[in-house]
Structure formats: structure tokens, C-alpha cells
Structure 1
């Protein structure tokens, strides 16, 4: 993959459009990307990553990609032209953009846009491939063969990450390597085996639990017949199945023995019960016959005692049959008498409601008076109509009076309101003019308000930056003193070490081996370390402290420069005016602006009030004219109503007579006619019922004499109703049946013979039979329980045997999966180094990385250092991701965390380059012609820097280019091809210089 051209618009710190020609920079092989802190060096690399993958590196995700310096109408865009896999492509991406609406106010958000083109060399033009985010992402990932995380680690080499990688533990290394080499499938294998193991274990335990549950059910079914306890094993324990089956066999044998004993006991109880039942039947027959004879004797005695009552009932029955001939005449007489009483009562009630003048009138006189009242009532209909019209006329006259008063109120109110109309209209127009003037004044003040507010904010920032600058200057002085002291301390220790270097070299002398200085193999008087001797570690610690102090000094000076630049900018905007005076001026301006806004806020309300007043004026003027017209037309109507009322009153005075009104007179006549008609009808009915009652008395006396009764009352007393007649007949029939039944029982031979025998003991025979039944029931229950126990134990035993057969393959599967799961998880005894499967794969990758990194590390360290992979155990007994460095000067192997700052840099650089090679091979061997290395060169001395640059220069073989991102000033002299990022108040810009 080779980068050709990058175009950035409104992205990060770049407010405008900036272009980077990587072909020009890559011509020299090495090029430098530099600039002050915060200028946007990293943003150039972010733009490359965003163009390819649609997102920036992980540590910088989540923020806005749009530049704060960009103009409102300029959209953020990144376009990258590159060659990969023999194809020349151009990727253009635009993140989501919030812009002002084309119509109306507010903003709208446009969606992200992507565009992929390919250069067609034969045609000499670009052709579109896709505008889909997903398709472009898949195409780029497939061509590069790397994910975004791998690209950021391989192409954008972050030195700080690999320095931490050298000092990290196995777990942290595993996380980084896992992201780069995508070993998730091996971790998935571990997880899947662990899941299979848990699932198999769950199935085995579930089977054992079910088997133990069946064993407990068998124990519960067996009860106390088995003295042998259940085996005390838990689910998963070996031997559980055999123990359960053995116990089940013992329980089944014992249960069958108990069932045989219960069967024999039941047969004996059933024989005893049959004998007891036969004896009870014999005793019951004799007792029944004896009881039957005694009852018949008692019934015969009771019949003899009730013979007198029987004769009286027969006499009453005979008199009742004779009185039945008189019954119809009695019924007619009672009915006629009841009708006559009702008619007489009705006549009395109706006559009581009549006037006294009709008290003695007969039925014909009452009917005549009712006809006269009805005729007079018919003559009042015309008077009724006149009375209703008089009421309507009075209502109309009242309505005219109410309308008269309402119109007078309308005229009075309209006159009063219209009299003040001119003054009210002038006042409203004055309010509108005043509000318009205030609105104009508020607009003028608003123009002055924003600059004043910005100047006040700049003044406050100026004051704060002045304080920050003073604090930064004090920190610079302190850092400079500390750096000078640290340098002096390091030089002193270095001088002391040089003085005692002979003793340090003598410490490594061995008899028989050549001296590194003189070559002698004998060492008769080696130098000795004196008190206060300074070794190499102390000198390196002092040098590291000196470098840290110098870095703090440089950082303090940089912060002081930044503060001074910001202070100068704030002072240029705010001027020299004190902040307090600016605050007072802005407060006064704000007060005047608020007052003008408040006064102008009533403009709309005043205009609406004037519109409402004008509409009200038109409405009241029209109402005044309409009310005057109605008053003029109402006088003639009032006179006509007065004349009509006088005529109607004369007519009604003659018609109502002494009554209060015609309606009252008509109601009086209606009630009188109705009462007279009702009284006449009641009188006629009373006369008719009196005649029919006299005829009924004569017929009743004749019927009683013919039936043999002295008076009608005697016949009525002897008459029986249906219920009484049926009751007497039932008594006669019941006595006849009872006499026949008693004679039949006393004549039976068996009953007479049983009566001559002694009394039997029925209770004793019944108790014996009940005891026999109880014994049969108890023995049957015992036999049924024994049979159920046998059946339940047989069923549960078959179920347990089937469960044992099913558990066999499950146990074998669990043992096999458990061995594999513990082996891949590193917890098996067969896994001597306790290395997980994923760690094993990563260890192989780490071994490849270490081998690839060593080729460059030896060159950068002049053959001193070699990176090796270690399988030693570390942390929780695991191993596989150890990384050591072999020092050729001492011949010792030590952990990479013990490297110094400069050694850590070129070791991490070698590791990054080696990792890039391995990841590239892993990704399918995609050639990477453009690499970037980020920072870390400031910790190198001149000689080491030359060696590192030689290694980087070797990367140019086969037309490969390397970009270095660094602040080191010496690199600007060594590397001629440069891309400088310059920051300013309106955003950053790039300046490109070729290597010529």
C-alpha cells in the first residue's frame, strides 16, 4: 500500500483546505512530520485512518471531527489517493454535518457521505465504484487485509504503546496481540469446550440427581421393611449407579415376602367373615318376625279404642251429603248479598260529594242535572279562547316594555362610549409611536452590545492569562534550576565513576581469562572499590533524572510560550482598558438595551389595542342607530295591544260569572257533571241489587225445607267443603285398611311361631359381623399396600436401570470433553506449563515477532541486544507470553522492563517494525510502502540516533517510505523532506518541503 495524495477540508485544526503530496515526500525515503504541540500533526494521521475506515484511531474517537475554525458553509471532507494491490483508488469521506436550513431558521443535519473511485489507466480517467459506506469499508478491508486496529498498529507505529508492551505483563501483552492477530477463534474454542464441559457435567449431574431421586422414592415406597440405608453418595460420585441398583434389589425381595404373608392373612379373615354373616342373617329373621307380631297386637288395641270417633265421622259424612242439595242456593244468595253491599257503599260515597240540593234526588233527577251542566260547559269554549288571547297580549305588552328599556340602555351606553372615542384613539396612536421609537433605539444598542461583550470577555481572559503567565514564568525558573542541578549531579557522578572505572573492570576479572584492557590472563593486584564508589546504575539513574529535569524544563518553557502568545492575542483584542471599567460600561449598555427592549415589547399590543378599539367604535355606532329605529316602530304596536286587551276583558267578565276565571268556571262545571253522572249510575245499580237479593232469600228457604233442614242456617252448617269431605273419607278408608292389615299379620304362621320363641340378641350378632368385616378390610388393605409397594419398587427399579444405561455414554462424553477443556484452559496436569490455547497461539506469534524484531534491534544496538520469547511461568502459574532481552555484553537474559529509556525506544521501535512485518504476512502479504513512526527520538544520543536512522533508511528498500512524527530539532537537520504543521488563530496549515 502506497499513499499518493491527501486533501483535508475543515477537519480537526484545519479550517480551510490543505493538501499533502506523499509522492513528493516519499521520494527521499524518509520524511519528517513536525510542528508545535496542538498544531495538528496527529490529525494528519487521523485523516488517513478516517479516509480508509470511516473513523479515527480508538483513543480519539467520540469527539467532533469538524474544525472549529471552518466557515459556516464549508463541509468537512477528507480525500485520500492511494495504490494497493496494483489498483489506484481515491476514497472521499464526509462526516455528518449540521448546517443552516436553506429556508426559514434553524439547522438541519446532513448524513455522512462516502465515495470510492478507481483510476482507469487505459482510459486515463476515474470511474465511480461505490457510494455505500458498508461496501467501501468491506472493499478497503479486503484490499488491505487489516482491520482498523491492525492498520493503526502496523502503518501508524505508536512508540508509546510498544514501550508499554515491553514493560507489560502477560495479560496485557495477550490483549494487544489478540487484537492484532485475531485469535478470537481460539478463545472461542476454549469457551466452547468449557461450555461443552459444563453442559456434559450438568447432564451427568442431572442424571445422577434423577437417579438419587428415584432411590429416595424407592426408600419412601419401601418404608421400614428394609433396614439397609441408602448409599451416602452425591451426584457425580463414581459407583453411585451400582450402589443404587444393589439397594433396589434388596428392597424388591423384602417387599415380595411381605406381600405373600399379607395374602394368607386376608384369606383367613374372609372365611371368618362368611360364618359371621350367616349367623347374623338367622338372628335378624327371628327378630323381625317377633317385632312384626308385637306391632300388629298394638295396632289392634288402638283400633278398639278409637271406635267412637269412627261412628261420629260416619254421621258427619251423611249430613254433608244431604246439605249438598242446598249448596247452589246458598252460593247465589251470598253472591247477591255481596253485590248489594258494594252498590250501596258506592251510592253513599258518590252522594256525599254532591251539593246539598241533590241529596234527596233519585237516579232520574241526578241524570237530568248532569245533562244541564254538560250543556252549559259547551257554551264556554269561545270564552276560553278569548282568555288565552288576553294572556298572550299581556305577555307581548311586557316584552315591548323590556325591549324599550334595553334599547334605552344601549343608547345611553353608546352615547357615553362614543363621547370619549377621539381621546382614546389619540392615546393609542401615541403608545404605538413611543414603542416604535424604543424598538429603533434597541436595535442601535444591540449593534454596540456584542462587541462590548466580546471585549469584556477578552479583558477577563487577558487578566487570567496574565496570572497564568506569571505562574508559568515562576515554574520555568524553578525547572531551569532543577535541570542545572540535575546536570551538575550527573557530571559529578560520571567523573567519580571514571575515576573508579578500574575497580569496576576488576570486578569482572577471572583467573585464566584475558583482561579486557591489557589482555593478561593473570591478575596479581586487581583494583579495589573505595568508599563512595559510583557504579553504572547510579550514573544511569543520575542521567535519567537529568533528562527528566531537562524535559520538564522544556515543557515549562513551551507552556510559558503558549501563555505569552495567548496573552498577546487577548491584549490585542481587549486593549489596555481595565476590566472593571469595561464591565461597568457593558452593564450600563445592557441596562439601556433591556429598558429599550421592554419599551419596544408593547408595540404589538398597542397595535392590537387600536384595531380592537376601531372595531368596537364601528360596532357601537351601528348598535346606536339600530336601537333608535326600534324605538320609533314600537309605539304603534303598543297602542293596538291596549285596544285588544280592553275588548277581551269585557267579554270575559260576562262569561266567568262569579268564578275567578273562565277556566275556573269550566273546571267547576266539568267536576259537577262528572259527579252527577256517577251518582245517577250508583243509584240505579243499588236498586237493581236490592231486588235480586230478595229473590235469592226466597229460593234458599225453599231448598232447605226440601233437603230436611229446619232452617237455611242449619243446612249451611252441615255443608262440607271439598277439603273437609276428602279428609273425612280418608279417615274412614284408613281405618278399614288398618283393620284388614292387622288381621292378616296375626294370621301368618311364621309370625305366630316366632312370637312363641324366646327373644334373640341382635346387637351381639351385629358386633361379631362388624368385627369380622373390619378384619377383612384390614387384611385387604395390608395386602393392597404390599402389592402397591412391590409394583412401585419394580417400576422405580426399571426406571433406575434405564437411567443407569443412559448415563453410561454421558459419563464417557463428559470425561472426554473435560480432559480437552482442562487441557486448552491450562488447568490440566498434562499441560505442564499451564498455557491456554489462545496463549499458545499468541506465543507462537510473539516468537515470530521477536525473531523479526531482533534483526533490526541488533543493528540499532550494534549487535548488543537480542529479543527472545520466553515460556516461563508468570502470574497465577500461567506461561507463554514472556519477552526477554539478551545482553551480548554480559551474556545474561533479562526482562525487557529493565531496559533504560533510550534502549526501550529502539527496542520498542524494532518490536513495532517486526510486528508490522508479521501482521502484514498474517494479513496476506500486502506490501506496505508507507509507514509512520510517532515520537520517542528525543531519548536517543547522537550515535544511537544515527543507528536508528540507518535502520529506518534500510526500510526504503524496494521503494518503501517512512514518515517520522517528532519534535526533535536535530531531525530537522538530518531529514530534508519535511511536512510542517503550522498553527494560527484561523486554524492550522501545512507546509511541505521536498528532499532536494
Structure 2
């Protein structure tokens, strides 16, 4: 992951818009972010974290009253963070806007705008950005997946908070475990411990539940067996519970089967006695039934004799009704003819009443009405229809007259509309010349502004280049002085180093005899004089200088000379750049060049704004000319239509006069021809209806007379004196069914009584003495009671056997099922105890999650040691310790090995400066391990927050060398600090400057 650019607006202490070009800062590999306390150094890191994850680091995120919006921002400026970065070979841009209270667009007060997020990706083939998503959730998941780490991991690995790692060095095992657990996401191993413990509790509960269920079945068997089963006192979990239950169940089953055999024998004897009693009871019941049957038949015969007269009367009435059925068709025909005649007479009366109301004063039709015949009404209807047909031509003329009136009204409406068109056109055309002049003036002004904009556009870039060169000139002037001071300092150091080397060399040459004497051995020749005896060899004095001291002084001299050469080379490069910038910028001050560039930009913006109105002015003139042509044509067309309307109106007047004279004669006394036609149509309809009803009344009267004659003839042939007698004798359906039912019931009852009295068995039973049914029922009931008691005893014994068999089978099955479950419980219990660190097999009493974290800590310590040795000049090494801590369990120990003493000690014994570079090494090592853990995501940009003030110069140089070596892996490291010495050592700087209006960012160095 490499950061390219960060833009802040109204964020934290930054009231306006600030930008950070990480690409420019990262060219040196190591850059410094500095500024006074409270200026907003950490807010830059907060902005990076907020852009990626939508929230700032933990401690600042959870603070009460924390707001991301700057208190210095203008009311209408929205807080925004935009970050451009490359991750997983993809160049992305993330923009986040937190929710904010903005002023309402209308009225007073504020309204809440929701948070917004954008994610874009740069497409190198298209050379443009493309939108990916605007969903907070989708963007969060995409960033987390690409980086491979959560917000907590990012803040711990990329931002490198040194205070946290200093506490980590001195923390106990529990605190280290919490931090490592968040970074390496080892909660899954804690979940394994939890799942094992839960599974142990679950299997233990299942075993106990199984024992309890087995014991419950044993108690049920004891209850079912009664006195036949004795169960000892048992509790769930006892080793011999299953064997005791199965043994007692076997004894109870054997006893229950013997009792069942005895009960079955007693039931067989009782069933035989009950069969004999049931047969005797059945015989007694049959005799009693036959005796009751014979007595009931005799009673029914006596009842028939009392109803004989009514039966004969019903037979006579039924016979008379059958004769009347022959007259029924004639009666129905006569009733239908009478009803039809009444309906026809009523219709005739209604038609005459309607006709009387419609005649009015028409004397011609009154004579027809007084006659009242169908022929007279039909003739009058024909005459009215003929008169109605003669009005058809007059009705068409009346319709045409209405159309003429409508046409006259339309001509008047058109005339008024044309008058309005002429008036509007003349009003608009009166101001045409002024409008055209105004628009042409606006076009000429916009064209002049466009020409000025072209001239100013050619001046913009040279002014910008001169301003940039002037600013670079000012910056390089300061860099030249700094570089010259460094050259002078390097010269002094080189001269001092050389003088020191010459002094050491002279002192060594002065004491070279002692150095040679130290190599003499008895019997060996001297390298100077060749003698083999050495009676008085020279001795080294207290200030003797050996070869190694001389070589170290020589090496220091050469290093000083190399630094001097590098400083002189850098001074030459800066001077060349200053000369080039001065030649391009000239001698004018930077502020005057800036004013000139701003003036050109301002004039260019004004000219562009004025020139942008050219197209709109052309369009407005074109629309005005088109409107002028349309208005002129409309006025001409209105004049033409007015001339055409004069002749048309005269033709309409002549035609209207002729039609009015013709219609006055046709309508007579009626209001209109249509009204006269309506009167005639009604008279035709009423006369036709009167003629039809008169003919219908005459026809129905004739049919009624014929029906009366046929009815009298049918009654006589059926044997009735008058038609009325026949009608009275006629039976309706209900009466006929009732008489037939009574006759049928009489016949059925008579046949049944005769049949019963003729039965031989019934007559024989009637001659026997009355049956003693009560005694037979008491004997049968006693036998049945004895049988039921025996059956209940047999059923109880059978149920006891069945229940004991069922419970015994279930108990045996439960014992078989509990065996593997008990084995599983023992295995899970051992695993849970081992993972929880409570098992005797776990020698170090270490939990599973602690074991995994210890392995991760060991990797971190190994990675940190590589840098710690360089920072401490090979003195310190970080190692992981498995020593037991509180409660007898192994913790996450972290010790430091001191090469000077050869002893291992706790990291809490380190001094302040040692703690800083040890924690820095630990942070860098942790970054490497977490990066590998996250799938090998490359972290090309790191930030280190504070802690450098506790280092001496030599240690600071070594720490900076380690950080500078990260460039070998193409990394850039940003140091957040306000230590003044770092500003002299690190050239690429981003300064945070604060004042009353909010903080601003300034980039220094190169």
C-alpha cells in the first residue's frame, strides 16, 4: 500500500482545504511531519485512517464530544477527506464526507446532511477515473479486503503509535494477549476453547440426563410391578446403576408373567358361567316380547273398529273428487279466458284515458274518441302519420337554421381573435428596433471579451512559470546558505579528524618500539637489530596507541572527507538550481510576481466570464428575429381573414331570412317544427295503442263466452248439476294426498294386525304364563360382573407384563446408547481441559489462544531483533519467554538479552531511550509479521508518532539509519515529531502551522 495524495477540507484543526503530496515527500524515503503541540500533526494521520475506514483511531474515536468538523471552517463549507493510494496494483481514490449541520437554503436554521462516500479507480488504458461505488458498506468491505487488515490492525501496523508499544513492552501477559489478539485475530482459537468447554458441558449434561432417564424408567418399572420389584437407592452417575436396574427389571418381569397365567384361568371359568346366564336371559326376553306383541295386536284391532265410519266417509269423498277431475281442464280454461278478458279491458281503459288527455282542443279526433271503435282509432292514426311525414323537410330546415346561428357566432369569435392578434403584434413590433440594437451591442461586447481572453491566456503560463521559479529561487537561497554552512561544518570536522589521525599516528610511531617489543620471544631474532637476546625490551606506557586505534582514526578521517565531498557536491547542485531559477524568475521579488500572476488570472477570469455570454447573445438575437417574422406574418394573415369574413356573413343573412319564413308556416301554433312533430308522433302512438286494445278486448270477450259453454257441457257429463258443484268437489293436491294417506294407513294397519294375530309362535307364547324377566336379568348381571372382574385382573396382569417389557427394552437401549456418549464425554473433557490449560497433560498450563499468541509473539520478537540490534549497536536482543506467571499458567513473556552482560532481563528494566528504540523495533517487526499474516499486502508507507526526544545523538543516528534502510524495500517512512534536531537531519518535511484561523500545511525540503 502506497499513499499518493491526501486532501483535507474543514477537518480537525484545518479550517480550509489543505493537500499533502505523499509522492513528493516519499522521494527521499524518510520525511518529517512536525509542528507545535496542538497544531494538528496527528490529525493528518486521523484523516488517512478516516478515509480508509470511515473512523479515526480508537482512543480519539471514542472520546466524548469528538467532532471531525473543524471549528474554524466557514458555515457553508462541508467537511471532506480525499485519499489517493495504490494497493494490490490498483490506484484508488476514496472520498468521505461525514454528516454535518449545514445552513438551510431557504429560511433560517440548519438541517442535517447524511454522510457520503465515493470510491473511484484509475483506468490506465482509458486514462480516466471510473466510479466503483457510493455505498458505505461496500466501500468498507472492499478496502478491508484489499488491505487485509482491520482498522485496529492498520492503526497499530501502519501508524506505529510508539506510546502503545512502550506500554506493550512493560505490560503483563494479559495486556499483551489482548493487543496481540486484536492484531492477529486469534478469537477463533478462543472460540475453540469456548466450544470445547460448551461441548464438555453439553455431553456431561447428556450423560447425566441419560442416567436420570434410566433411573426414572427404573422407578416406573417399580411402580408398574408393585410389590414384585425391589429397587435399591441409586443416584445418577453411580457406576453400578445400569446393572442394578436391569437385574431388578428381570425379576419383576418373571413374577408378572406367573400372575398373568393365574388370571387367565380364572377368566375362562367366569366366561363359561356368563354364557349360560346369557342364554337363559335371551329365552326369557323372547317369551316376554311375543306376549307383548300379541296384546298390542289385540289393542290395535279394537282401535280400527272405532274408526270404521270415518274411513268409509273418506272413501266417498275420494270417489267424488276423482269424478270432478274430468271437469278440471274446462274450469282452468274458463278461468284463464276470464283473466285474459279482464286484462284486455283494463288495457283498453288505460289507452282511452291517455288518448283523452292528449286530445286537448282537437275537435277532429273527439268524434273518433266518442265512436270508440278499433277501426276509427286506426284511421285517425293513419291520418296523423301522413301529416308527420310532411314535416320532415321543415325539420331539416330548422336544423339548418341552428347551424346558421352557430356559424354567425363563430365568425364573431374569429373576428375578436384576429383583433387581439393584430393588437399584440403591433405592440411587439413597435419595440423591435430597440431590441435588435441591444442584442447586437451585447454580441459585440462578448466578442471583444473573447479576444481579450485569448490574449490573457497566452500571458498566464509564463506568469505562472516565473512565479514558480521565484518561489523555488527563494527556497534554494535558504538551502544554499544551509548547504554552505554544512560544507563549512564538514570542513572543520574533516580537518579535526585528519589532525586527530596525524596525532594518533605520531603517538603510535613514538611508541612503536614498545609495540615491536611486545612481539619478541626468547630465541627469536629481533625484526630491527636481529639479536636473539632481549635483555631490556621497551614497555608500553599509559597513553600507548596501537594499530587498531590508528586505523579507527584513519577511517574516521576518510568518513569525514566523504561527508565533506557529499556536502560540497550537494552545495554545487543547490547553487546550479538557484542559478537556473534566478535566470528564469529574474530580479523581481516573489510577492510582486505573485501579484502580477494573480492580476493576470483575475483579468482572464473576467474576460472568460464576459466571453461566455457570446453564444447566449447570438441565440437570443436569432430567437428575436424569428419572433419578428412570426409577428409580422400573423398580422398579415389576420387582415386577410377579416376581408374574407365580410362576404360570408352576407350569404348567411340571406339564407337565414328564407328559412325563418318557411318554418313559421310549417310549425303552426307549436313553438317549433320539432315540437309539432313530437305532438303528432305522440298522437300516432296513442291512436295505434287505442285501436290495438279495442281489438284485444273484443277478441277476449268472444273467447270467454266459448269457455262458459264448454264448462257447462263437461259438468253435465261428469254427473254434476252445475259447474259450481264440480268446482266444489274438486280436491287440491294437499287434500288429495292427505285423504290417500289416511286410506293407505287404514289398510296397512288392518293387514298388520291380522298378520300378527295369525302368527303361531305369538299365539303359543300368549297361552304360556308371564315370563320372569327380572330374575333372569339379575342372574345374567351377576355372571357378567364376575367375568368383568376376572377380565380386569387378567388385563391388569397383561398390562403389567407389557409395561415391564417396554420399560425393560427402553432401559436396555438407554444403557447401550449411553456407552458411546459416556466415551465421548470423557474424550471431550480431556480436550477441553487441555485447551483451557487445566489438564495435568498441559505441562505449562497454557491456554490454546495463549499458545497461538506466544508463537506470534515469538515471530514478532525475531523480526524486531533484526532492527533492534542495529539500533543498539548489537547490544540488545528481544526473546519470547514461556515462564509461568500468575495462577501457575504460562504467560506471554517478553525479555531482552543484554550482550554486554550476557544476561536476560525483563523489558520493563530498559531506560527511556532504550524503551523507545526497542518499542520502535517491536513496532516495525510487528508490521512485518501482520503484513505477512494479512496475505502479504505490501506496506510502502509507514508513520511513526513521537518518542525521538528521548534518544542521544549517536542512538538517534542509528535509529535513523534503520529507518532509512527501509528505502531498500521501496518504503517511505513519515516521522511525526517536534524534536528540533530531526529538522536538521531530515530534509523532506511537512510542517503544520497553527494560528487563530486554523492550521495549514507547508512542505519544505526536497
- 1:374 corresponds in structure 2 to 382
CA distance in 2 between counterparts of 1:94 and 1:670 reads: 99
- 1:696 corresponds in structure 2 to 710
Q: Which moved more, 1:189-198 or 1:808-817?
A: 189-198
For the residue of structure 2 that corresponds to 1:648, the secondary structure is: helix
Q: What does residue range 959-974 of structure 1 map to in structure 2 within 5 Å?
A: none
How big is the shift at 1:409? Answer: 3.6
TM-score by length of 1: 0.55
Distance of aligned partners of 1:239 and 1:166 in 2 relative to their CA distance in 1, 3 Å threshold: farther
- 1:168 corresponds in structure 2 to 171
Distance of aligned partners of 1:763 and 1:411 in 2 relative to their CA distance in 1, 3 Å threshold: farther
Distance of aligned partners of 1:38 and 1:922 in 2 relative to their CA distance in 1, 3 Å threshold: same
Which residue of the other structure, out of 639, 643, 661, is the alignment partner of 2:653? 639
CA distance in 2 between counterparts of 1:728 and 1:934 reads: 122
Q: Which moved more, 1:259-268 or 1:907-916?
A: 907-916
Residues 162 and 908, structure 1, Cα contact 8 Å, conserved in 2: yes
Structure 1 position 836 matched with structure 2 position 833: no
- 2:811 corresponds in structure 1 to 800
Residues 381 and 688, structure 2, Cα contact 8 Å, conserved in 1: no
Can you give the 5+ residue segments of structure 1 that lack an aligned partner in the other structure? Answer: 1-5, 23-32, 65-73, 79-90, 100-106, 115-136, 448-571, 576-592, 924-930, 991-996
CA distance in 2 between counterparts of 1:972 and 1:668 reads: 120
Which residue of the other structure, out of 886, 889, 898, is the alignment partner of 1:875? 886
Residues 347 and 679, structure 1, Cα contact 8 Å, conserved in 2: yes
For the residue of structure 2 that corresponds to 1:302, the secondary structure is: helix
Residue-by-residue CA offset, 1:262-283 (whole Å, 9 max, x unaligned):
6566546544543442233122
For the residue of structure 2 that corresponds to 1:835, the secondary structure is: coil
How big is the shift at 1:666? Answer: 2.4
Aligned length: 731
CA distance in 1 between counterparts of 2:737 and 2:185 reads: 112
CA distance in 2 between counterparts of 1:167 and 1:175 reads: 14
How big is the shift at 1:874? Answer: 2.2
Which residue of the other structure, out of 405, 417, 442, is the alignment partner of 1:410? 417
How big is the shift at 1:294? Answer: 1.5
Residues 8 and 19, structure 1, Cα contact 8 Å, conserved in 2: no
Distance of aligned partners of 1:429 and 1:301 in 2 relative to their CA distance in 1, 3 Å threshold: same
CA distance in 1 between counterparts of 2:708 and 2:971 reads: 151
Can you give the 5+ residue segments of structure 2 that lack an aligned partner in the other structure? Answer: 7-18, 62-67, 69-81, 96-117, 126-143, 357-365, 457-588, 593-605, 935-941, 992-1000
Residues 336 and 696, structure 1, Cα contact 8 Å, conserved in 2: no
CA RMSD of aligned residues (A): 7.0
For the residue of structure 2 that corresponds to 1:987, the secondary structure is: strand
CA distance in 1 between counterparts of 2:775 and 2:389 reads: 106
Distance of aligned partners of 1:670 and 1:323 in 2 relative to their CA distance in 1, 3 Å threshold: closer
Structure 1 position 37 matched with structure 2 position 44: no
TM-score by length of 2: 0.54
CA distance in 2 between counterparts of 1:702 and 1:917 reads: 134
- 2:404 corresponds in structure 1 to 397
CA distance in 1 between counterparts of 2:899 and 2:876 reads: 6
Q: Which moved more, 1:293-302 or 1:658-667?
A: 658-667
CA distance in 2 between counterparts of 1:877 and 1:972 reads: 50
Distance of aligned partners of 1:725 and 1:767 in 2 relative to their CA distance in 1, 3 Å threshold: same
Which residue of the other structure, out of 812, 817, 833, is the alignment partner of 1:822? 833
Residue-by-residue CA offset, 1:292-316 (whole Å, 9 max, x unaligned):
1211221222222233334444555
Q: What does residue range 752-771 of structure 1 map to in structure 2 within 5 Å?
A: 752-760=763-771, 762=773
Residue-by-residue CA offset, 1:513-535 (whole Å, 9 max, x unaligned):
xxxxxxxxxxxxxxxxxxxxxxx
Which residue of the other structure, out of 980, 989, 992, is the alignment partner of 2:1005? 989
CA distance in 1 between counterparts of 2:162 and 2:121 reads: 38
How big is the shift at 1:658? Answer: 13
CA distance in 1 between counterparts of 2:57 and 2:315 reads: 127
Q: What does residue range 129-144 of structure 1 map to in structure 2 within 5 Å?
A: none
Which residue of the other structure, out of 76, 83, 92, is the alignment partner of 1:96? 92
CA distance in 2 between counterparts of 1:686 and 1:933 reads: 125
CA distance in 2 between counterparts of 1:154 and 1:310 reads: 122
Residues 395 and 674, structure 2, Cα contact 8 Å, conserved in 1: no
How big is the shift at 1:284? Answer: 1.6
Structure 1 position 206 matched with structure 2 position 222: no
CA distance in 2 between counterparts of 1:669 and 1:301 reads: 82
For the residue of structure 2 that corresponds to 1:291, the secondary structure is: helix
Q: What does residue range 537-686 of structure 1 map to in structure 2 within 5 Å?
A: 621=635, 624-625=638-639, 628-629=642-643, 631-649=645-663, 651-653=665-667, 661-671=675-685, 673-682=687-696, 684-686=698-700
Residues 249 and 808, structure 2, Cα contact 8 Å, conserved in 1: yes
Residue-by-residue CA offset, 1:106-158 (whole Å, 9 max, x unaligned):
x99443889xxxxxxxxxxxxxxxxxxxxxx99x99xxxx9999999999999
Distance of aligned partners of 1:769 and 1:857 in 2 relative to their CA distance in 1, 3 Å threshold: same
CA distance in 2 between counterparts of 1:719 and 1:848 reads: 124
- 2:296 corresponds in structure 1 to 295
Structure 1 position 901 matched with structure 2 position 912: yes
Distance of aligned partners of 1:162 and 1:190 in 2 relative to their CA distance in 1, 3 Å threshold: closer
Residues 218 and 792, structure 1, Cα contact 8 Å, conserved in 2: no
Residue-by-residue CA offset, 1:574-599 (whole Å, 9 max, x unaligned):
99xxxxxxxxxxxxxxxxx9xx99xx
How big is the shift at 1:368? Answer: 5.2
How big is the shift at 1:381? Answer: 0.9
Residues 937 and 968, structure 1, Cα contact 8 Å, conserved in 2: yes
For the residue of structure 2 that corresponds to 1:96, the secondary structure is: strand
Residue-by-residue CA offset, 1:862-882 (whole Å, 9 max, x unaligned):
999998876543234422443
Distance of aligned partners of 1:841 and 1:60 in 2 relative to their CA distance in 1, 3 Å threshold: closer
- 2:526 corresponds in structure 1 to none
Distance of aligned partners of 1:288 and 1:628 in 2 relative to their CA distance in 1, 3 Å threshold: same
For the residue of structure 1 that corresponds to 2:765, the secondary structure is: helix
